Amino acid sequence: DAVTLFGEDTPEELIGQILPDVLVKGADWAVEQIAGAKAVIENGGSVLTVPLLEGRSTTGIIETIVQLYCPETTVGKG
C-alpha cells in the first residue's frame, strides 16, 4: 500500500509505470472508465470496484484530516 502524489489530472501515467497487481476504485466508475485500468489488465492485473458507503467519501476523509491538522486551510475552495 502507498499514497503517491501526481501532477496530472488523472493517475493514468503513474499507474502505467507502477503496474499494480490490483487497482481498486469506487463502484460509481465502470471498469473501462478507470484511469490506468487498461494497462493493469493488459499486464495480468485485476481491476476491482467496491461498493460506496453512504456518508463516506474521499473528500470527507480529506476534510477531516485538514480540519484536525491544518485548520487554517480550506479544502476545495480555490
- Structural domains in the chain (count): 1
Average pLDDT, the chain: 90
Domain that holds residue 60: 12-69
Q: How many angstroms separate the Cα of 43 from the Cα of each of 32, 37, 65?
A: 15, 10, 35
For residue 26, what is the enclosing H or E element?
strand 22-26
7 within domain boundaries: no
- Condensed to tens digits (0 to 9), the pLDDT of residues 7-49 reads 999 999 999 999 999 999 999 999 999 999 999 999 999 999 9
| Residue 1 is assigned to a structural domain of this protein | no
Q: What is the pLDDT of residue 51?
A: 95
